[in-house]
Structure 1
Amino acid sequence: MFDSLLFTIMLVVFLGVLSQWLSWRIKLPAIVVMSVAGIIVGPVLGIIDPSQEFGDLYGPIISMAVAIILFEGSLQLDFREIRDLGKPVTRIVTVGAFIAWILGSLAAHYVAGLSLPVAFVIGGLFIVTGPTVILPLLRQAKLKPRPSKILKWEGIIVDPIGVLLALFAFQIILFFMDETVSLGSLLIFFAAAGFATLLGWGCGRGMGWMFEKGYIPEYLKSPVLFSVVLLCFTLADEVMHETGLLSVTAMGITMANMHIASIGNMRHFKENISVLLISTIFIMLTASLHIETFYEILNPAIIGYVLLMLFVVRPLSIWLSTIGTDLSLQEKALVGWIAPRGIVALTVSGYFASVLTDTGFEDAQLLTALTFALVFATVCAHGFSIGWAARRLKLANDQGPGVIVVGGNSFTNALVATLTEMKVPAVLVDSSWRKVAAARQSGLPTFHGEVLSEQTEYQLDMTPYESIIMASESDAYNSLVCSSFTPTFGIKHLYQTAPDIARDADLEGLTHSVGGRILFNNETPLQALIQRVDAGQVFRKTLLTKQFSAKEFMNEINEEDILVGLLKASGRFDPIATDSEFSLEPGDTVIRLSSALKEKEKIKQSKE
């Protein structure tokens, strides 16, 4: 009834996105959920087999998707991000990768039973981690900046390096085994790698120059960039298979470090595309496996090899390569443990399994089972343990979700002071040094800078913060910032004070189309809040208990009080907006702006 290519495409896309959503809801690694979903509809139930149904298009579709994902990841590699981590990152992607290649190859030979030529090919490929798996894990774990940056950079840069090492090992095999292959073939390999790098650099510089000069209109920037990425990848790949990954990585890094004004909008577009592609491709790959592959995975030699890669090869390569760097023991331990393999390993190993078998290496048929065993084991082991390991090593932001408050004034100073007192991560941000200085003198956490500036992205770690409260004197600026951060934080977590319609009636229509959620109520703009604080009103904190219920609390407050926010028993702080729907439960703390006289009266009554 549903035996059609259209149904297969629909099911693959739907299951991929559903897996992403389900993993978000149940707090599981998305890669794990996608793998399970693909296995169920593929080899278990036999509903679809994408490799058969897509036919000759199966390989090119996956290759182009990987190219776009890798470019999107490399578009985030701004060298300013690792000013203090340049040495360990360089060591890990060079010395560490080489050590992992040698150790992994020896393990594949002596433990998995592969011949030395096949072992060195697959050993080079297995050093890759890749943005398809590492970026979703980092998003989930919320690590501290240093280990997060190291894992991100390694995952993106090592992807093409691993493929090149595998290609290099394959060329060496052909050189010694095939009399028709001469030294010139090796030189062609290095020339092809150099061409791919130069092509990526040239495409990146060319696109950046056209964007900066205005030769491409805004509405065409993302489509043009999308097509040039595919062009860059395909040209390099046609010269030599798999060098296209190196080309798009070079293109992305080049554009990331040109500091193009509109790179942020393009990055958000690419991120959305990447999430869709990662979801789709992982379902396709796992659904295309055969049930015989799972029987092969149970081979003790394969299990032993996977355990050796997990607990010996990866940790040892990281510890040896980072000797003499400033990484702490905890950072080395975490980076040495986290190395999930993903789409690149699965796709490229299939290519090498085919060409090595054709060359005469019968043991290469084992590569598919070996690769999937390593991918699934690392994805599950690292996906489930990264949060736990980071917390045990004190490398995770273990505080409750925090708040960035933008705009320095008496109201925001008092709000940040109250949140800090309640152990909620909060920071006051303003581009005016005078306004920041007033808060700093009070001992409040502050950041001096323009929140929309690209520099702020690298100087202010936003990982601990889930919400932004805009409370500057400019209502239009508040709306602009909320709109700018919508792709990053989501509209649910962006708040701004009510616009002062009496002062500027033109703003009435603006806030309905752009901006964040209006705080408290529509009748209390920022100036009114500042006047309340200046007049002596304070933030009162009321803990709800079984004895003092929500009903009693609501009876206590009066019309002059403003409900500001709700600190849940879990440590989560939620500002109260005009459209908020919340329930008060025992253990919650309600924050309200109220008269100081009432606070004094309450203290006096409690003493009596």
Structure 2
Amino acid sequence: MSHDALQTISLSIALGVFSYIISRAYKIPAIVFYLVCGFVFGPAGFNLIRTEEAIGGGIAPMVEIAVAIILFEGGLSLSIQGFRMEKKAIRRLLFITIPITGGAAALLSHYLTGMPWLFAGFFGALIVVTGPTVIGSILKSVALNQRLEILLNWESLWGDVIGVMVSALALELILVSKGGVITAGVFAHLLLGTFVGSLVGLAGGVLLKHIVAWLEKLKDPALSGIASFGGAVALFYISGRIVESSGPLAVVVAGMYLSLKCGDAVVGIRHFKEQIASLFISTLFVLLSAFVNPMELIHLWPTMLAVAFILGAVVRPLAVHLAMAGSDVTLRERWYMGVIGPRGIVAVATASYAAFLLPGFPYEMKVILNQTMAIIFFSGVVATVLCRPLASLLKVRVPHAQTGILLVGSNPMSREFARLLSRHVPVAFLETRRDACSLATDQGFQTVCADMLSADVYEEASREGYDRLVALTRNNALNELVALRAASHMAPGRVYRGVARRAEETLLTGNDNVAHVAFSDGFFITEAVRRMEKGHAWLTEKEADELGDGDIPLARLNGEGKGVLIMRPGIDPSGTLICYSRKEKTAAKVGAP
């Protein structure tokens, strides 16, 4: 390996990982940092990363693999239930917003930057993608209402698929017809690609499901992720070999099938894919960012910035409002989706891939690459800066008291607590034992049966809207270990640990910033479970002024029962409360179960 190649790859890995860590720490889309690193260390800056000289055309297959990983991971994360809830709005978003955005981008590219129609059409097709990686970062930083999360997630993933497939057709036209008219064969190719991609993806998903089920029996959690990663890349390649550009659809369909059929195993698959994708994709996109030299087209940047502004401030909001007209989506939600529409990593990948395949059109591809980078950077910055204040201003942010609650440990006390909580907020159980999982599921609760100490479980729960956790096992050490692990993935002050029994050494103190003591210093889970099993205690809703000596408040209802706050020491009970109540004759000591 030459010195330039080693230097380019090593520096790209280091900068990519650094960018990813900073993006996770500050909840900012990583693509923004990738672009900055590529600009600073590429030809426009220090010229230490020389992508074209060091790697050349070898980066093209890396781009295809990256697209396969991103879209497969997106398919794993999509909720079929979410589609059923918002299918009308999702269809309108995909089939009205995307064509309007793409058409407007093509017109702007042709009339403002002077691109020939075929290249303008290619630019319009690739710029419609928003990208699950960028939207995912935004959704982690702000708790939006369920409808907005569903719509943004579905648009980001299927927008990628549609954009990649249509831009591939536009690219094919440039390669084959070189300015000729669009023929019926192009549309037939699109239909055939849709059919083949869906079929290969479904068949591959079924095969991967059986492979994952077999690997689960080996008790090695890493194997399912490795097999799924290899399977996704293989499906992308096989489908693309049968019909050009059908690979993206195949991996999304396969990912969605696994998400629907593999249950808890999907958590481990997502965790592995996030690790491998983080290293590979971060490195690749620093390389791609360094492939572009903005200084070569400095005279066009005022025009390109105007295109970026018009697309983000005019076209996107207008397209969303037109698509959502007549739907149940509120005006506030339409404005939020209209303003928060960042372009994503797949757009960079598609534009870069095209640049390698079209060496005979250097000027046109430089303009498209620079324009794409400009739109991605500024739309990402705007989305990052505005996503939280705009959500609060438009009142589409879910208040802390209305976020979902993850209960760790299934027992008679926690299940009854969950039953009362579920009247007001989403509730799910996390358990390790299969029998406890089955019992909670049989009683109608959403249940995750997985390792309580696995960090990826808590990140997945947070992604699903469960931003609070209460550890209620009958083991103090386990409650504290769970709280420590969960606190690193949830916002400060949203993790609670129950006290299992009296006079037991603890790892955390009541004043620890990692997790609050749940309910009261004098509430002990094992004693409460024993009394409830004997019929000497129960959980109920009471007003604060009705509390007796045998009552311990566990949670307070907010806003006409539309939210719940978990009680902890130091908070005075008020309003309507969920209480642990004992028979007076058993209350030998006030505050003890």
TM-score > 0.5, shorter chain as reference: yes
Partner of 1:560: none
> How far does residue 231 in structure 1 lie from its aligned partner after superposition?
0.6
Partner of 1:330: 332
Deviations 1:12-60 (A, max 9, x none): 2332232233345456544323332332222312222234323443222
- Distance verdict in 2 for CA 1:289–1:110, change over 3 Å: closer
Task: For residue 470 of structure 2, give the secondary structure of its aligned residue in structure 1.
Answer: strand
Partner of 2:226: 223
Bigger shift: residues 83-92 or 178-187: 178-187
**Is 1:266 aligned to 2:247, yes or no?**
no
Partner of 1:582: none
Partner of 1:78: 79
> Would the aligned equivalents of 2:35 and 2:289 in 1 still touch at CA under 8 Å?
yes
Which residue identity does 2:238 align to in structure 1? L
TM-score (structure 1 length as normaliser): 0.71
**Is 1:20 aligned to 2:4, yes or no?**
no
> How far does residue 338 in structure 1 lie from its aligned partner after superposition?
1.6
Distance in 2, matches of 1:301 and 1:18, equals 32
Distance in 2, matches of 1:393 and 1:224, equals 43
Partner of 1:344: 346
Q: How does 1:121-520 map to 2 (within 5 A)?
A: 121-171=122-172, 187-188=188-189, 190-212=191-213, 217-219=218-220, 220-293=223-296, 295=298, 298=301, 300-353=302-355, 355=357, 358=360, 363-397=364-398, 399=400, 404=405, 406=407, 430-432=414-416, 435=417, 445=424, 450-451=429-430, 456=446, 466-473=467-474, 489=490, 496-500=497-501
Paired positions, count: 513
Which residue identity does 1:40 align to in structure 2? V
> How far does residue 406 in structure 1 lie from its aligned partner after superposition?
3.7
> Would the aligned equivalents of 1:430 and 1:448 in 2 still touch at CA under 8 Å?
no
Distance in 1, matches of 2:400 and 2:521, equals 32
- Distance verdict in 2 for CA 1:132–1:297, change over 3 Å: farther
> Would the aligned equivalents of 1:297 and 1:373 in 2 still touch at CA under 8 Å?
no
Task: For residue 114 of structure 1, give the secondary structure of its aligned residue in structure 2.
Answer: coil
Which residue identity does 1:14 align to in structure 2? A
> Would the aligned equivalents of 1:189 and 1:240 in 2 still touch at CA under 8 Å?
no
Distance in 2, matches of 1:122 and 1:462, equals 32
> Would the aligned equivalents of 1:204 and 1:252 in 2 still touch at CA under 8 Å?
yes
Task: Structure 1 unaligned segments of length 5 or more: list them.
Answer: 413-427, 509-515, 541-562, 568-594, 598-608
> Would the aligned equivalents of 1:118 and 1:361 in 2 still touch at CA under 8 Å?
no
> How far does residue 294 in structure 1 lie from its aligned partner after superposition?
5.9
- Distance verdict in 2 for CA 1:483–1:538, change over 3 Å: closer
Task: For residue 83 of structure 1, give the secondary structure of its aligned residue in structure 2.
Answer: helix
- Distance verdict in 2 for CA 1:153–1:330, change over 3 Å: same
Distance in 1, matches of 2:462 and 2:286, equals 34
> Would the aligned equivalents of 2:484 and 2:515 in 1 still touch at CA under 8 Å?
no
Distance in 2, matches of 1:492 and 1:274, equals 30
- Distance verdict in 2 for CA 1:174–1:25, change over 3 Å: closer
> Would the aligned equivalents of 1:315 and 1:337 in 2 still touch at CA under 8 Å?
yes
Q: Which has the larger radius of gyration?
A: 1
- Distance verdict in 2 for CA 1:34–1:223, change over 3 Å: same
Distance in 2, matches of 1:429 and 1:90, equals 43
Aligned-CA RMSD value: 4.6
TM-score (structure 2 length as normaliser): 0.72
Task: For residue 46 of structure 1, give the secondary structure of its aligned residue in structure 2.
Answer: coil
- Distance verdict in 2 for CA 1:8–1:379, change over 3 Å: same
> Would the aligned equivalents of 2:92 and 2:323 in 1 still touch at CA under 8 Å?
yes
Partner of 2:582: none
Partner of 2:40: 40
> How far does residue 92 in structure 1 lie from its aligned partner after superposition?
0.7
Distance in 2, matches of 1:249 and 1:292, equals 37
Which residue identity does 1:141 align to in structure 2? V
Distance in 1, matches of 2:127 and 2:152, equals 16
> Would the aligned equivalents of 1:296 and 1:369 in 2 still touch at CA under 8 Å?
no
Distance in 1, matches of 2:26 and 2:185, equals 55
- Distance verdict in 2 for CA 1:314–1:306, change over 3 Å: same
Task: For residue 395 of structure 1, give the secondary structure of its aligned residue in structure 2.
Answer: coil
> Would the aligned equivalents of 1:350 and 1:367 in 2 still touch at CA under 8 Å?
no
> How far does residue 401 in structure 1 lie from its aligned partner after superposition?
11
Bigger shift: residues 69-78 or 522-531: 522-531
Deviations 1:421-452 (A, max 9, x none): xxxxxxx99434xx556779xxx956666455
> How far does residue 68 in structure 1 lie from its aligned partner after superposition?
0.8
**Is 1:118 aligned to 2:108, yes or no?**
no
Partner of 1:423: none
Distance in 1, matches of 2:178 and 2:8, equals 42
Which residue identity does 2:197 align to in structure 1? A
> Would the aligned equivalents of 1:430 and 1:451 in 2 still touch at CA under 8 Å?
no
Distance in 2, matches of 1:251 and 1:465, equals 26
Distance in 1, matches of 2:290 and 2:413, equals 48
- Distance verdict in 2 for CA 1:277–1:467, change over 3 Å: farther
> Would the aligned equivalents of 2:49 and 2:287 in 1 still touch at CA under 8 Å?
no
Partner of 2:575: none
Which residue identity does 2:112 align to in structure 1? V
